Amino acid sequence: MQPSRSLRILTISAFLLVLLSLYMVFVYAPREVVMGAVQRVFYYHVAAGWIGALAFLVTLIVSILYLATNNIILDRIAVSSVEIGVVFTSMNIASGSIWARPIWNTWWTWDPRLTTATVMWLLYIAYLMLRQGLEDPERQRRFAAVYGILAFASVPLTFLAIRIWRTIHPVVIGSNDPGAEGQFDMTMRMRSAFFFSLFTFTVLYTTLLWHRVRLEGLACRVAIMKARLLHDR
């Protein structure tokens, strides 16, 4: 079954936006005078973190709707969004370590933002693992929906960590902690590259989610066909 025309157009658009974002980050945006080239990690680091939070928010919303409607498609969206969110959160944590090594002189520190982000990441990995531990499909979906709702508490906590506690992690937008290391003022070109990266990653997330939900639906159809063939035998 071929993807729809809309999905094909969205996929091509996402690919072109990613290419353009590479130009914006590595050519259009100026080199930061203090941190140098490593600062360019910032654009994708923040964008990946944004998509992680967005993906988990989508899971929260569709999980609530699933409990109200028992619509299986909503469950497919929930698990697909978590999978994508975990991937982008992994990118966020990894790129943060790359940035931290020359700036903080360490690959890792148990800063409040890093700690809460790691807890969030582990909670959603557990979501995927726990789904595999339940054999009854209906029970699996309902348990996952409840878990997806409760796990979301870690998302705003991660966002607010650098605003609640004293931290060395800089705040991208808004007032910063005086002790934060690595903060910098964005020029107009930097801001353009930053917001363009956020937009690009949002389109990329939408594209990946659509593809993943579609594949999940096809997998379910194949499973039903296999069950029918075995029953006929």
User: pLDDT tens digits for 139-168?
Assistant: 899 999 999 999 999 999 988 877 776 666
What tens digit of pLDDT does each residue of 94-130 get?
998 888 888 777 787 777 788 889 999 999 999 999 8
Query: What's the CA gap between 180 and 111, in Å, rounded?
Result: 11
The residue ranking higher by pLDDT, 135 or 227, is 135
Q: What percent of the chain has pLDDT over 90?
A: 55
Q: Rounded mean pLDDT of the chain?
A: 86
pLDDT of residue 125: 96
Domain ranges of the chain: 38-171+186-232
Q: What are the tokens at 143?
A: 């348990």
Query: What's the CA gap between 209 and 220, in Å, rounded?
Result: 16
pLDDT-derived band at 227, boundaries 50, 70, 90: low
What is the C-alpha radius of gyration for the chain, rounded to an integer number of angstroms?
20
pLDDT-derived band at 220, boundaries 50, 70, 90: confident
DSSP the chain: -PPPHHHHHHHHHHHHHHHHHHHIIIIISPPBTTTBGGGGHHHHHHHHHHHHHHHHHHHHHHHHHHHHH--HHHHHHHHHHHHHHHHHHHHHHHHHHHHHHHHHSSS----HHHHHHHHHHHHHHHHHHHHHT--SHHHHHHHHHHHHHHHTTHHHHHHHHHHHS--SSPPSSS---TT-SS-----HHHHHHHHHHHHHHHHHHHHHHHHHHHHHHHHHHHHHHHHHHHHH-
When mean pLDDT is compared across 71-80, 132-141, 180-189, 209-218, the lowest value belongs to 180-189
